[in-house]
């Protein structure tokens, strides 16, 4: 078990929700739902890099994730955990962000392999994103240049403990501090970068609209959306080139 | 024994082929040939004569496959290496040419060898060498990259990475315990 | 209300025709005609209790020729069908009286032909002897030829092939009439039934076969079904709904009266086809079962919504015949009830399809999609319609299908039960393709600002949809008149109650079934909306596409060739043999015509004449 | 008073000869004299009708007794046909006001005289004489338009009917050589039992084929299509309507009175059904409207022949009904089609340019087809009933199939008439009002007949009964020898 | 049948169905795991999955018809539960017979089809077209089996069928071939492995469930439980003599559910046309043979 290096990311300090603000029934429901959330996790392993090969052995007879209540799922809609395994190139990061936004909260991101921690082996490559947590709120890092299945399972079990305690709500940060994330994304992909899911409107809908949700980055995006009238049905057609070739700084 | 007998067959037709190869190579005056071993030839040819050589090799000497085009950045000029392979003689001919650094432009051999289109595109993306006449001269891999050609020596990736990305502190709990006991990470 | 007899209805019909012909293209005339139709329907409804007790609405329209008194009077079965006709005609005219009329040039022709059609059909429903039946039958075929050919071009061709089939049928019926006349020298049903046994067995067989051919053509029974689909598909909306709902059921009414009342189902059971292969009833049942299956699976392949529905009309006609001929109280009740049910949801479906084509300009399933957000009313009507057509519980289609299935099982015909179920499954598959390709899936760019059809077109649709649901909820409303019909025809009567049917072996109470469904859906909604967290609606671009950014130039919709697996397995079965048969007959006729024309155009006719004379003289001398 | 009926034949002959003289004085109005004469004929027939009411009468020409003298036999059937002939002739009378040709009127009158003579005479040779008069008059009329086509048609008609007349004469000669008499009543006593051998058959065949030419019987009706499409439309109407029915009447007389043998009936049935089928199919293929109508009239007369061929009372009744229906209907159709002598496809959109004409055409064609409420249906119903009574199932089926083919080409016509697009300007056909009057009267008679249908049916049954009892015929002609002048009614 | 008694049964029957369904699904997953030499999910895993899905904070819907489809789905099966004969509770079994039940089981699939249609995802539409094709495939042998059974018992009312089986012998013993064909048809009806063409995760991203997230997916899991329960109860009441008491009823259900699972785990997935060809050849043949025997026995 030596090489299990679960690390605590720094920029995911959640704004601690004081426990006693809600009434007793609310608390009971929350604890029970966290209890269930911990026990049943659906994993979407987005095989971005080489770490994905560690997951099949985690699911089959030797390590058997199912006994922890974890099932592999095919589409982001049905998944709770997004496993980013291995280096994330800029092109793949766009798809990863789109997939992340298509997932339903409470959702968790686990960065397996050290490439997601600090760039790993490809640290000095111009094409890879070095720190995943700048673009997505990452719950758990499992370092190792391909951690063994035991490491993955331990990491998952630790995440389950966090969920049970109700602390694993870094997904809310994506809404609450959307400006920070958008800024980093625009830094990479250019100012007109956006995905079909309207994060701000969803933040308002789920009452996760914090102070930091909007800032100058989102302002630029909103101005762009209004200017190009993206609500119309044929917007994606007009945006066809801009989506893939975005990124002029 | 079958294997040897097969070897015998290739030996004598190898001989006849090399004769044809020699005749061709001697036809073009502005190139010098260097035989690496009995299956590798290195040919240095002038940039203008390359298409002629390629069509000759393809037409008469049975070099049906252009395996790859590689590019070397000598900072003052580019060197393009065309690796040609013949299935009969099993001999690899790599034709080396030198083209000027700026403007990094050369003629495409797409009409002789169609696979050249892919190799030329990669070189165009990675080194910025533009091949006229090739139908595939647009970004394919580095669609998100808008900076200079990344493989050039003039491009300093480390500097780009440092100012483009930032790093995160790597303070795992277990490392704290070891440091408490006096250990440290050997960098 | 005093008991209105048939003369009042005939008078109203004549007034109807008059108004339609004279002021057909005035804007308000559509509404007046609808009111008239509804008035006629009500007039029959008011005197309906008289009909239920077995009495008859008599009319003064009688004449005697060749010692035959031809008299027109409306029995309960005629009344039931008349109600359906007036419902279909009223709603069709209502549909065509509003904004739609301005978009359709020959509106005067449409109104007058519709009025003529209703009058002819009522004449047919009211006839109660063979001569009156035949006269009305010819009128109905002529008038429906007119209404089918209203759009010219494709529908004119379809109308021409229809009138040829209709004349084939008419001649078959006329031959049967003549044979009956020869045996019983009277045309009235009672006389014929009385003297029926005097005919020799194979003469009886010929008569029954001829009658089935004659009336079957109008009902599009299998060998004669090729004319109906294009005829009912390429006509304007109200005509398609009217024809689809009731026109081909006239053949069923005539067959129902002739086979069950005059010939009697027991006679049909005893009749054996030549060489004792199969008795007549089983032969007809299997013909009906094939008429159910083959058109339904042809409908499955159609890409034009109107053609799909028209082919389904043929299929469901087979289903009704299956019910009527099952010689079982439940079966006949199911068969007749299916006439009403099919009329209601077929008309609703045609209206829905045409309202889509009114707004988007096309009914081609490959060029539609995602209209549910823009045309919700048409969607709900089509949803109710397809549930009815597929025969699923809350709607009335299920009740009649249940009755027929139960009858087939009780009569011990499991293979027919299987054939019926295969037909229904085929229907479910093709109706889902219909609603999926038109309303569900990705909305097309050009349909972005499509609006719902105006009220004058959506109200009739909604009325029909509610009729489908209500008669599904309380089938007793229909079963009451069906039981009365069965008693007048002298066949075994179904014991019914408002909710459904109580047989000893497995009964159906639709009130319980549908209310449990509503309660269960309520519970489902409760679980779904209360327990789960509030939901958020997303646009059609926010969709899983394997990480690909959806752009609208590459259409992200699956609608063409909707059942590839099934089609690969069953496509060798589509050999359209009937099509080849039909074109073979046509070419023989043309060939013979050419020969006989050439015969007359002979140049040296005299030579042949003299030759003829010489030969005949030789023959005379030789003898 | 019935002796005055002889005037029916005499007056037209007299006027025919006087007409050239009258024409010099009256000029164009000479045509009117013809119509006046016809009016007088109608009056003559009208009062004769009720007098002959119950039992048939005989007129002895020149006072000679039956077997030798020439006899005119008057019964309901003959009177009916005579009246109808006069009515049709009156309606079709070519009363033009300008460029009249006196020869046309003369020929018309001769034709009429021939018709009356044939209908009324009870003597074999006498029938032949009037038949010849009829034939000659029709040759003249057919070739009147003086176009190349009408000459050819006329020539073909001449050749065939000449052949036919030769046959008829040979038949009469045969009979005369065997029986020594030409009076039908007298023959009716002798032939049925004595001549029931090969010679009798051949005589019968010869006579039927001979008189079949005008009756459009199958093998000898090759002239019909050409003549009807190229002759003047009024003449065609007369020929198709009246003359063919009179010829069929003669054949009816023969098979009832002279040759009541089953073989002859079968022969006639065969020819009739072939005529029907070939007529219908040819009409289906016909390219222009007039030929189409010609072939359909072949088919219709085939039907009449079939009806008469099953020589029961019901058969005769059906035959008469069909004959009357066709007699009234076909002239109307021919008049309507008088302007449409070009190919069918050019008629597309006729309804737009002449709506009334095409509407009338459709109604009359539907009645021809036998669509129920119209009179055609009742006639066909009678035919089918009579065929069924004789158990001729195959014939029944063939007749019905022929009707389907008939429906095919008629509805093809209707679709062409009511097509959406207008007829091109220069080929526009508009049928003016005044030509429509005869058509309107004819269709009026037909449609009014509907309302008196029961009455009409009963009177038809009486006529059929009267024609079918042979004894009445024989003893009226032979039994009470009664001279002209005594006039004991 | 007093009013409250009925109301109690209306609530109790679906609840019971759901619970038994949960354990049936658990049994399936446990057996699958054991055969794959894995530990298998904890005891109440299906329940946790459903609750987790229901309490997910973000619920994505594609429109009213998407929700209506899911509600119709739940409603359809809850109605079917009330008409199923269960020991001790009669519910409305007397008001509707086996044909009504077959059609009630089609309503949820239509509801699901509508919901998925509204999601506007071609993976879903392909899944639904395959599901309907599979329905056409397995319904033919199933209908022949039902026709044979009803013909043999002479009635289509389930309670009477159970009473008959109690007095005489089980359907399984009197019509073995029909029972076997029925079992294969049920296996296909459950949509498990060899016939799982419409939830083909590798090809069409779980077909109809591609856009189902949160409580929509939870409702689909609930439907799966109810579906397994309904089908197994239908089979037991037709061939295994229904339940005399709960103690012998539930083992029968588990036995009936167990056999298909055994086969499921071993088999890969058929292509769509192979499903059609196979189901129309072997189970239909068997069923027709059984039907012939029943008819000949008279």
First-to-last CA distance in chain E? 37
Tokens of B79: 């060197």
Q: How many CB pairs under 8 A join A and C?
A: 49
Are E57 and A66 within 8 A, CB to CB?
A: no
- What is the helix (H) or strand (E) element at residue C192, kind and residue range? helix C189-195
How many residues are given for chain D? 489
Interval D310-336 mean pLDDT? 89
Distance from CA of E34 to the nearest CA of C (A): 32
* pLDDT above 80: residue C485: yes
Enumerate residues 95 to 154 of chain B having a beta carbon within 8 A of any beta carbon in chain A. Answer: 142-147, 150
β-pairing verdict for A70-72 and A41-46? parallel
The backbone torsions φ and ψ at residue A71, rounded to the nearest 5 degrees and listed phi first, read -120, 140
**Residues of chain A contacting C548 with CB distance shorter than 8 Å:** 95
Question: Do at least 3 CB pairs under 8 Å connect C with D?
Answer: yes
Q: State percent of chain D over pLDDT 90.
A: 23
> How many Å is the Cα radius of gyration of chain E?
19
pLDDT digits (tens, 9 = 90+) for C433-481: 999 999 998 888 888 888 999 988 899 999 999 999 999 999 888 888 8
| Closest alpha carbon to E75 in E219, E216, E233 | E219
Which residue of chain C is at minimal alpha-carbon distance from A204?
Answer: C536
Cα C319 from Cα A19, distance rounded (Å)? 66
Are A78 and E209 within 8 A, CB to CB?
A: yes
Tokens of C175: 């031959």
Tokens of C460: 């009739």
Structure ipTM: 0.86
Cα–Cα distances in Å, from B131 out to B79, B103, B106, B120, B147?
14, 11, 5, 7, 20
Q: State percent of chain C over pLDDT 70.
A: 99
Tell me the DSSP string of chain B. Answer: -HHHHHHHHHHHHHHHHHHHHHHHHHH-TT-EEEEEETTEEEEE--TTTHHHHHHHHHHHH---EEEEEEEEE-SSEEEEEEEEE-TTT--EEEEEEEEESSS-EEE--TTT-TTHHHHHHHHHHHH--EEET-TT-S-SS-TT--SS-TTSTTS-HHHHHHHH--------HHHHHHHHTT-----
pLDDT digits (tens, 9 = 90+) for E116-126: 999 889 999 99
Are A98 and C553 within 8 A, CB to CB?
A: no
Cα C53 from Cα C481, distance rounded (Å)? 10
In this predicted structure, what is the pLDDT of residue B15? 59
Peptide bond into B103 cis (omega under 30): yes
Among candidates C445, C539, C549 on the partner chain, residue whose Cβ is nearest the Cβ of A243: C549
Question: Could you tell me the residue range of the domain that residue E63 belongs to?
Answer: 3-297
Q: Quick check: C603 contacting D, CB < 8 Å? A: no
Give D252's contacts (C-beta < 8 A, 6+ positions apart).
Answer: D308, D316, D319, D467
C89 exposure class (CB count in 10 Å sphere: 0-12, 13-18, 19+): buried
Which residue of chain D is at minimal alpha-carbon distance from C165?
Answer: D404
Among candidates B143, B161, B172 on the partner chain, residue whose Cβ is nearest the Cβ of A124: B161
How do the domains of chain A map onto residue ranges?
6-168, 177-244
Q: Quick check: E214 contacting A, CB < 8 Å? A: yes
Tell me the DSSP string of E129-141. Answer: HHHHHHHHHHHHH
In this predicted structure, what is the pLDDT of residue E176? 92
Are A130 and B171 within 8 A, CB to CB?
A: no
CB atoms within 10 A of CB B29: 7
Interval C123-134 mean pLDDT? 89
Neighbours of chain E (3+ CB pairs under 8 A): A, C
Are A119 and B143 within 8 A, CB to CB?
A: no
Enumerate residues 66 to 125 of chain A having a beta carbon within 8 A of any beta carbon in chain C. Answer: 75-77, 95-96, 98-99, 102
Q: How many CB pairs under 8 A join A and B?
A: 70
* pLDDT above 50: residue B56: yes
Which residue of chain D is at minimal alpha-carbon distance from C132?
Answer: D372
In this predicted structure, what is the pLDDT of residue B180? 85
pLDDT digits (tens, 9 = 90+) for C285-344: 999 999 999 999 999 999 999 999 999 999 999 999 999 998 888 899 999 999 999 999
Cα D171 from Cα D183, distance rounded (Å)? 14
Cα B111 from Cα B47, distance rounded (Å)? 17
Query: What is the 3-state secondary structure of B49-69?
Result: CHHHHHHHHHHHHCCCEEEEE
Q: How confident is the model at residue B9 (pLDDT cuts 50, 70, 90)?
A: low
Distance from CA of B33 to the nearest CA of A (A): 38
- Helices and strands (H and E) in chain D: how many: 21, 2
Torsion of CA D464, D466, D467, D470, to 10 degrees: 140
Residues C456 and C291 sit within 8 Å (Cβ to Cβ) = no
In this predicted structure, what is the pLDDT of residue B18? 62
Helix pair C29-46, C107-126: axis angle to 10 deg: 10
Domain count, chain E: 1
Torsion of CA C375, C377, C381, C384, to 10 degrees: 100
Q: Quick check: A60 contacting E, CB < 8 Å? A: yes
Cα D441 from Cα D236, distance rounded (Å)? 18
Q: Please, what's the largest Cα pairwise distance for chain E?
A: 61
Are A69 and E41 within 8 A, CB to CB?
A: yes
Are E33 and A64 within 8 A, CB to CB?
A: yes
pLDDT digits (tens, 9 = 90+) for C226-240: 999 999 999 998 999
In this predicted structure, what is the pLDDT of residue D169? 92
C264 exposure class (CB count in 10 Å sphere: 0-12, 13-18, 19+): middle
Among candidates E40, E51, E58 on the partner chain, residue whose Cβ is nearest the Cβ of A66: E40
Interval C42-67 mean pLDDT? 81
The angle subtended at Cα D112 by Cα D108 and Cα D115, nearest 5°, is 140
Q: What is the pTM of this model?
A: 0.89
**Contacts by D149-154 with C-beta closer than 8 Å and gap 24+?**
D149/D226, D149/D230, D150/D230, D150/D231, D152/D226, D152/D230, D153/D223, D153/D226, D153/D227, D153/D229, D153/D230, D153/D231, D154/D227, D154/D231
Distance from CA of A12 to the nearest CA of C (A): 25
| Closest alpha carbon to C401 in C472, C474, C350 | C472
Tokens of E160: 């009477």
* pLDDT above 60: residue C585: yes
Q: How confident is the model at residue A21 (pLDDT cuts 50, 70, 90)?
A: low
Query: What is the 3-state secondary structure of D55-124?
Result: CCEEEEHHHCCCCCCCEEEECHHHHHHHHHHHHHHHHHCCCCCCCCCHHHHHHHHHHHHHHHHHHHECEH
**Residues of chain E contacting C544 with CB distance shorter than 8 Å:** 121, 123, 205, 210-211
Peptide bond into A106 cis (omega under 30): yes
| Closest alpha carbon to C441 in E217, E202, A238, E114 | E114
Are E39 and A64 within 8 A, CB to CB?
A: yes
Average pLDDT score, chain B:
82
In this predicted structure, what is the pLDDT of residue E77? 92
Q: How confident is the model at residue D40 (pLDDT cuts 50, 70, 90)?
A: confident
Tokens of A16: 């601690």
- What is the helix (H) or strand (E) element at residue E194, kind and residue range? none
Which residue of chain A is at minimal alpha-carbon distance from E51?
Answer: A36
CB atoms within 10 A of CB B17: 18
Q: Could you tell me which residue, D243 or C65, shows the higher pLDDT?
A: D243
* pLDDT above 60: residue A243: no
Among candidates A7, A91, A123 on the partner chain, residue whose Cβ is nearest the Cβ of B143: A91
In this predicted structure, what is the pLDDT of residue D480? 55
E170 exposure class (CB count in 10 Å sphere: 0-12, 13-18, 19+): middle
Are C549 and A236 within 8 A, CB to CB?
A: yes
Are E60 and A80 within 8 A, CB to CB?
A: no
List beta partners, residue B93.
Answer: B41, B84
Q: What topology is assigned to A6-168 in CATH?
A: Rossmann fold (3.40.50)
Cα C280 from Cα D227, distance rounded (Å)? 53
Q: Which residue do the tokens 């049994």 mark? A: E27
- Structural domain contains residue D378: yes
Average pLDDT score, chain C:
88
Cα C475 from Cα D489, distance rounded (Å)? 78
Tell me the DSSP string of A5-33. Answer: -EE--STT---PPPGGGS-HHHHHHHHHH
Q: Which residues of chain E have pLDDT under 70?
A: 1
Q: Which of A85-89, A164-168, C309-313, C574-578 has the highest mean pLDDT?
A: C309-313
Residues C127 and C256 sit within 8 Å (Cβ to Cβ) = no
pLDDT digits (tens, 9 = 90+) for B107-158: 999 999 999 999 999 999 999 999 999 998 888 888 888 888 899 998 888 8
Q: Which residue do the tokens 């009414």 mark? A: C253
Residues C338 and C81 sit within 8 Å (Cβ to Cβ) = no
Q: Quick check: C544 contacting A, CB < 8 Å? A: yes
**Residues of chain C contacting E128 with CB distance shorter than 8 Å:** 432, 436
- For testing contact with chain A, the best of C551, C553, C556, C557 (most A CBs within 10 A): C551
How many residues are given for chain A? 249
| Closest alpha carbon to A199 in C536, E56, E118 | C536
B17-21, B43-47, D186-190, D292-296: which range is least confident on average?
A: B17-21
**B2-155 — its CATH code?**
3.30.460.80
CA atoms within 13 A on the CB side of D3: 12
* pLDDT above 80: residue D421: no
Tell me the DSSP string of D394-414. Answer: HHHHHHHHHHHHHHHHHHHHH
In this predicted structure, what is the pLDDT of residue A17? 46
Q: Could you tell me which residue, C26 or E16, shows the higher pLDDT?
A: E16
Among candidates C443, C544, C547 on the partner chain, residue whose Cβ is nearest the Cβ of A233: C443
Cα C590 from Cα C602, distance rounded (Å)? 19
* pLDDT above 80: residue D151: yes
* pLDDT above 50: residue A3: no
pLDDT digits (tens, 9 = 90+) for C139-149: 999 999 999 99
Question: Could you tell me the residue range of the domain that residue D400 belongs to?
Answer: 262-451
A43 exposure class (CB count in 10 Å sphere: 0-12, 13-18, 19+): buried
Tokens of A81: 């955990």
Cα C282 from Cα A205, distance rounded (Å)? 64
Domain count, chain D: 1
Interval C349-374 mean pLDDT? 91
**Residues of chain E contacting C525 with CB distance shorter than 8 Å:** 71, 75
Among candidates A95, A205, A240 on the partner chain, residue whose Cβ is nearest the Cβ of C551: A240
In this predicted structure, what is the pLDDT of residue C580? 92
- What is the helix (H) or strand (E) element at residue C72, kind and residue range? strand C68-74
pLDDT digits (tens, 9 = 90+) for D366-396: 999 989 888 899 999 999 999 998 888 999 9
């Amino acid at each position: 078990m030596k090489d299990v290096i679960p690390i605590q990311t720094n920029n995911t300090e959640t704004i601690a929700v004081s426990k006693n603000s809600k009434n007793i029934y609310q608390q009971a429901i929350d604890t029970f739902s966290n209890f269930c959330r911990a026990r049943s996790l659906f994993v979407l392993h987005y095989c971005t890099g080489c770490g994905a090969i560690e997951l099949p052995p985690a699911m089959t007879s030797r390590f058997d994730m199912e006994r922890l209540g974890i099932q592999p799922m095919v589409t982001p809609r049905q998944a709770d955990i997004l496993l980013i395994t291995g280096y994330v190139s800029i092109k793949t990061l766009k798809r990863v962000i789109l997939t992340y936004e298509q997932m339903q909260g409470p959702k968790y991101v686990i960065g397996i392999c050290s490439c997601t921690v600090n760039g790993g082996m490809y640290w000095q490559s111009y094409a890879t994103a070095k720190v995943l947590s700048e673009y997505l709120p990452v719950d758990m890092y499992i370092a190792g240049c391909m951690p063994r299945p035991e490491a993955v399972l331990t990491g998952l079990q630790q995440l389950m403990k966090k969920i049970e305690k109700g602390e694993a709500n870094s997904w809310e940060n994506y809404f609450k501090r959307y400006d920070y994330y958008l800024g980093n994304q625009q830094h990479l992909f250019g100012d007109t970068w956006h995905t079909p899911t309207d994060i701000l409107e969803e933040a308002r809908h789920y009452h996760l609209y914090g102070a930091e949700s909007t800032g100058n980055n989102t302002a630029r995006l909103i101005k762009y959306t209004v200017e190009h009238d993206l609500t119309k049905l044929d917007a994606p057609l007009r945006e066809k080139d801009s989506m893939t070739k975005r990124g002029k700084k | 024994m079958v294997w040897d007998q097969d070897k015998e067959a290739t030996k004598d037709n190898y001989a006849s082929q090399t004769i044809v190869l020699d005749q061709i190579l001697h036809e073009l005056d502005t190139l010098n040939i260097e035989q690496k071993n009995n299956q590798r030839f290195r040919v240095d040819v002038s940039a203008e004569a390359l298409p002629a050589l390629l069509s000759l090799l393809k037409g008469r000497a049975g070099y049906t496959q252009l395996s790859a085009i590689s590019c070397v950045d000598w900072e003052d000029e580019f060197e393009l290496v065309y690796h040609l392979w013949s299935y009969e003689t099993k001999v690899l001919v790599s034709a080396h040419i030198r083209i000027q650094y700026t403007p990094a432009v050369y003629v495409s051999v797409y009409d002789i060898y169609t696979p050249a289109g892919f190799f030329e595109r990669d070189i165009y993306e990675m080194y910025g060498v533009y091949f006229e006449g090739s139908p595939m001269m647009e970004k394919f891999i580095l669609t998100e990259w808008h900076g200079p050609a990344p493989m050039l020596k003039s491009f300093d990736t480390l500097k780009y990475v440092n100012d483009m990305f930032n790093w995160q502190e790597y303070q795992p709990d277990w490392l704290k315990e070891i440091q408490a006991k006096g250990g440290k990470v050997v960098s | 209300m005093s008991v209105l007899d048939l003369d009042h209805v005939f008078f109203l019909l004549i007034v109807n025709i008059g108004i339609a012909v004279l002021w057909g293209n005035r804007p308000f005339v559509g509404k007046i005609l609808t009111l008239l139709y509804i008035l006629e329907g009500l007039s029959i409804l008011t005197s309906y209790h008289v009909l239920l007790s077995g009495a008859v609405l008599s009319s003064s329209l009688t004449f005697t020729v060749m010692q035959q008194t031809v008299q027109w009077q409306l029995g309960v079965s005629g009344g039931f069908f008349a109600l359906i006709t007036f419902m279909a005609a009223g709603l069709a005219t209502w549909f065509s009286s509003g904004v739609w009329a301005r978009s359709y040039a020959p509106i005067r022709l449409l109104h007058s032909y519709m009025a003529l059609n209703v009058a002819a059909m009522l004449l047919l429903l009211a006839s109660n002897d063979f001569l009156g039946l035949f006269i009305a039958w010819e009128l109905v075929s002529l008038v429906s030829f007119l209404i089918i050919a209203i759009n010219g071009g494709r529908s004119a061709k379809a109308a021409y092939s229809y009138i040829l089939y209709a004349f084939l049928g008419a001649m078959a019926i006329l031959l049967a009439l003549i044979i009956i006349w020869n045996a019983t020298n009277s045309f009235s049903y009672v006389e014929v039934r009385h003297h029926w046994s005097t005919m020799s067995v194979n003469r009886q067989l010929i008569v029954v076969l001829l009658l089935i051919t004659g009336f079957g053509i109008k009902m599009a029974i299998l060998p004669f079904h090729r004319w109906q689909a294009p005829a009912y598909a390429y006509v304007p909306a109200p005509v398609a709904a009217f024809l689809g709902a009731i026109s081909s059921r006239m053949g069923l009414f005539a067959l129902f009266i002739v086979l069950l009342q005059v010939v009697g189902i027991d006679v049909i059971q005893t009749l054996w086809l030549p060489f004792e292969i199969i008795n007549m009833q089983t032969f007809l049942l299997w013909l009906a079962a094939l008429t159910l299956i083959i058109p339904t699976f042809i409908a499955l392949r159609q890409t034009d919504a109107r053609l799909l529905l028209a082919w389904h009309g043929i299929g469901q006609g087979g289903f009704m015949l299956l019910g009527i001929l099952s010689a079982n109280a439940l079966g006949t009740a199911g068969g007749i009830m299916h006439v009403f049910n099919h009329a209601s949801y077929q008309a609703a479906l045609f209206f829905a399809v045409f309202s889509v084509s009114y707004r988007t300009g096309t009914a081609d399933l490959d060029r539609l999609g995602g209209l549910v957000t823009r045309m919700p009313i048409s969607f709900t009507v089509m949803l109710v319609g397809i549930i009815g057509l597929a025969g699923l519980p809350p709607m009335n289609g299920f009740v009649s299908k249940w009755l027929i299935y139960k009858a087939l099982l009780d009569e011990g015909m499991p293979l027919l039960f299987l054939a019926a179920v295969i037909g229904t499954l085929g229907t479910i598959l093709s109706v889902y393709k219909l609603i999926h390709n038109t309303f569900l899936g990705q909305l097309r760019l050009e349909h972005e600002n499509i609006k719902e059809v105006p009220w004058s077109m959506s109200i009739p649709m909604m009325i029909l949809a509610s009729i489908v649901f209500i008669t599904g909820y309380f089938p007793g409303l229909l079963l009451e008149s069906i039981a009365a019909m069965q008693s007048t025809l002298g066949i075994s009567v179904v014991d019914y109650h408002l909710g459904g049917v109580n047989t000893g072996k497995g009964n159906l109470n639709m009130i319980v079934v549908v209310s449990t469904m509503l309660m269960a859906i309520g519970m489902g909604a409760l679980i779904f909306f209360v327990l789960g967290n509030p939901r958020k609606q997303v646009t059609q671009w926010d969709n899983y596409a394997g990480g690909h950014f959806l752009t609208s130039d590459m259409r992200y919709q699956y609608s063409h060739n909707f059942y590839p697996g099934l089609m690969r397995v069953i496509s060798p079965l589509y050999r359209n043999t009937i099509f080849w048969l039909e074109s073979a007959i046509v070419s023989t006729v043309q060939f013979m015509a050419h020969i006989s024309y050439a015969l007359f155009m002979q140049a040296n006719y005299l030579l042949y004449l003299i030759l003829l004379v010489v030969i005949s003289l030789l023959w005379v001398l030789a003898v | 008073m019935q002796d005055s009926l002889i005037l029916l034949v005499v007056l037209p002959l007299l006027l025919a000869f006087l007409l050239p003289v009258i024409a010099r004085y009256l000029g164009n109005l000479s045509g009117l004299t013809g119509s006046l004469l016809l009016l007088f004929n109608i009056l003559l027939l009208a009062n004769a009708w009720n007098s002959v009411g119950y039992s048939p009468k005989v007129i002895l020409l020149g006072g000679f007794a039956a077997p030798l003298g020439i006899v005119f036999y008057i019964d309901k059937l003959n009177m009916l046909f005579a009246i109808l002939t006069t009515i049709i002739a009156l309606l079709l009378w070519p009363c033009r006001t300008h460029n009249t040709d006196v020869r046309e009127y003369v020929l018309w009158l001769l034709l009429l005289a021939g018709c009356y003579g044939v209908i009324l005479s009870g003597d074999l040779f006498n029938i032949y004489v009037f038949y010849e008069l009829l034939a000659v008059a029709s040759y003249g009329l057919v070739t009147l338009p003086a176009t190349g086509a009408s000459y050819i048609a006329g020539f073909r008609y001449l050749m065939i009917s000449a052949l036919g007349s030769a046959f008829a004469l040979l038949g009469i000669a045969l009979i005369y050589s065997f029986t020594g008499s030409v009076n039908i009543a007298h023959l009716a006593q002798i032939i049925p039992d004595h001549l029931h051998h090969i010679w009798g058959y051949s005589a019968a065949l010869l006579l039927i084929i001979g008189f079949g030419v005008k009756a459009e019987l199958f093998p000898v009706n090759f002239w019909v299509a050409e003549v009807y499409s190229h002759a003047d439309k009024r003449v065609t109407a007369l020929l198709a309507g009246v003359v063919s029915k009179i010829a069929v009447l003669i054949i009816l007389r023969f098979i009832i009175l002279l040759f009541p043998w089953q073989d002859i009936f079968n022969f006639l049935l065969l020819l009739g059904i072939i005529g029907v089928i070939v007529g219908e199919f040819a009409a289906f293929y016909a390219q222009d409207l007039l030929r189409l109508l010609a072939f359909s009239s072949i088919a219709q007369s085939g039907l009449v022949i079939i009806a008469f061929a099953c020589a029961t009372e019901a058969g005769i009744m059906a035959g008469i009904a069909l004959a009357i229906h066709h007699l009234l209907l076909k002239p109307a159709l021919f008049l309507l089609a008088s302007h449409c002598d070009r190919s069918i496809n050019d008629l597309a959109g006729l309804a737009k340019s002449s709506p009334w004409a095409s509407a009338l055409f459709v109604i009359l064609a539907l009645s021809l087809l036998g669509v129920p409420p119209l009179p055609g249906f009742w006639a066909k119903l009678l035919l089918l009933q009579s065929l069924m009574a004789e158990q001729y199932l195959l014939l029944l089926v063939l007749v019905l199939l022929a009707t389907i083919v008939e429906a095919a080409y008629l509805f093809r016509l209707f679709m062409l008439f009511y097509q959406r697009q207008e007829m091109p300007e220069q080929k526009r056909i508009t049928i003016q009002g005044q030509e429509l009057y005869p058509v309107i009267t004819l269709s009026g008679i037909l449609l009014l007949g509907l309302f008196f249908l029961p009455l009409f049916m009963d009177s038809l049954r009486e006529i059929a009964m009267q024609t079918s009892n042979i004894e009445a015929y024989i003893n009226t002609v032979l039994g009470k020898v009664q001279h002209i002048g005594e006039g004991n009614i | 049948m007093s009013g409250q008694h009925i109301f109690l049964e209306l609530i109790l029957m679906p609840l019971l169905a759901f619970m038994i369904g949960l354990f049936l699904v658990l049994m399936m997953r446990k057996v699958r795991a054991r055969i794959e030499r894995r530990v298998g999910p904890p005891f109440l895993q299906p329940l946790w999955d459903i609750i987790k899905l229901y309490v997910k904070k973000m619920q994505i819907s594609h429109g009213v018809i998407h929700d209506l489809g899911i509600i119709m789905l739940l409603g359809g099966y809850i109605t079917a539960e009330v008409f199923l004969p269960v020991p001790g509770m009669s519910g409305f079994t007397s008001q509707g017979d086996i044909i009504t039940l077959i059609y009630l089981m089609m309503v949820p699939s239509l509801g699901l089809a509508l919901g998925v249609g509204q999601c506007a995802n071609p993976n879903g539409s392909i899944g639904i077209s395959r599901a309907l094709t599979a329905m056409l495939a397995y319904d033919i042998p199933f209908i022949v089996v039902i026709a044979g059974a009803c013909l043999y018992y002479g009635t289509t009312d389930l309670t009477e069928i159970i009473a008959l089986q109690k007095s005489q012998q089980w359907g399984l013993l009197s019509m073995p071939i029909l029972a076997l064909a029925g079992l294969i048809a049920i296996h296909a009806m459950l949509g498990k492995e060899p016939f799982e063409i419409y939830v083909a995760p590798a090809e069409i991203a779980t077909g109809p469930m591609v856009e189902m997230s949160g409580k929509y997916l939870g409702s689909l899991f609930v439907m799966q439980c109810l579906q397994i329960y309904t089908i197994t109860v239908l089979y037991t009441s037709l061939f295994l003599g229904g339940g005399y008491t709960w103690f012998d009823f539930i083992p029968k259900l588990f036995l009936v559910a167990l056999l298909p699972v055994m086969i499921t785990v071993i088999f890969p997935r058929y292509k769509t046309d192979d499903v059609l060809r196979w189901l129309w050849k072997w189970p239909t043949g068997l069923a027709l043979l059984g039907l012939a025997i029943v008819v000949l026995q008279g």
